Amino acid sequence: MIGFQTLLYKEVLRFWKVATQTLMAPIITAMLYLLIFGHVLEAHVQVFPGVTYTAFLVPGLVMMSVLQNAFANTSSSLIQSKITGNLVFVLLTPLSHWELFSAYVLAAMVRGLAVGVGVFVITVWFAPLSFVAPLWILLFALLGAAILGTMGLIGGIWAEKFDQLAAFQNFLIVPATFLAGVFYSVHSLPPFWQAVSHLNPFFYMIDGFRYGFFGHSDVPPIISFSIVLVFFMVLATVAVKLLKSGYKLRH
């Protein structure tokens, strides 16, 4: 247990020591999105009845920040440790694959949620929000962070160079989060793109998270939650198997 705690502590300390980059920067970015898109679209768009566009945007931006930063934490930690070679300090220890998995993913969740809370605290002043179902808010935030932390772990294990990881991030994670309905409701899309959106697991995370605030969603939250939970279990199984086999870590 001490081994796991130490790795978790180390992973949290790692991003905390560069908090300007890992916490402040994404909070500022999210605030800019809110100010710019809110300013331009506030008068023209109403997604849910009685909810202003800026208010609609806040939960989406919070969740997007949670997801992207959870991913960034595990993936950047692993690729840096692999390339600089200091991953050896972890690989030489008796830490089991379960301990490695939980410590890396939990640290990613801490960072994702810390950024999420930061974005929320700053953006909440710009729009009136309701909290219809706080438990859903919490569940989707936790599960979303765990999923992206796990994806970052898998990406970090798989990638051998920074640009491979950047490709993973820029061509998979970023489009999937942007197209998951952060800035719009997928109901506003043509039927074909609506169907495509329903194949994107990130859509269910954001849709369920937003339900917790407004009580409106494109899909009932229990269905979103089930899909997201299954998605997490599949990814977690893959990640633990990779760690156990030593894929690309133990040659």
The contact set with another protein (CB under 8 A) reads 2-3, 5-7, 9-10, 13-14, 17-18, 81, 84-86, 88-96, 246, 250-251
d(CA 158, CA 134): 36
Tell me the two tokens of residue 67. 């997801």
CA dihedral 232, 229, 51, 64 (to 10 degrees): -10
Nearer to another protein (CB atom), residue 93 or residue 170: 93
Question: Shortest approach of another protein to residue 22 CB, angstroms?
Answer: 11
d(CA 243, CA 101): 8
Nearer to another protein (CB atom), residue 78 or residue 228: 78
Tell me the two tokens of residue 42. 């506030």
Question: Shortest approach of another protein to residue 21 CB, angstroms?
Answer: 12
Cα Dmax for the chain: 59
Question: Shortest approach of another protein to residue 92 CB, angstroms?
Answer: 5
Residue 102 and residue 74 in contact, taking contact as beta carbons nearer than 8 Å: no
Nearer to another protein (CB atom), residue 46 or residue 245: 245
E strands, 105-186, where? none
Question: Shortest approach of another protein to residue 249 CB, angstroms?
Answer: 9
Nearer to another protein (CB atom), residue 97 or residue 198: 97
Question: Shortest approach of another protein to residue 81 CB, angstroms?
Answer: 8
Nearer to another protein (CB atom), residue 44 or residue 250: 250
| Residue 199 parent element (H or E) | none
* DSSP character at residue 219: S
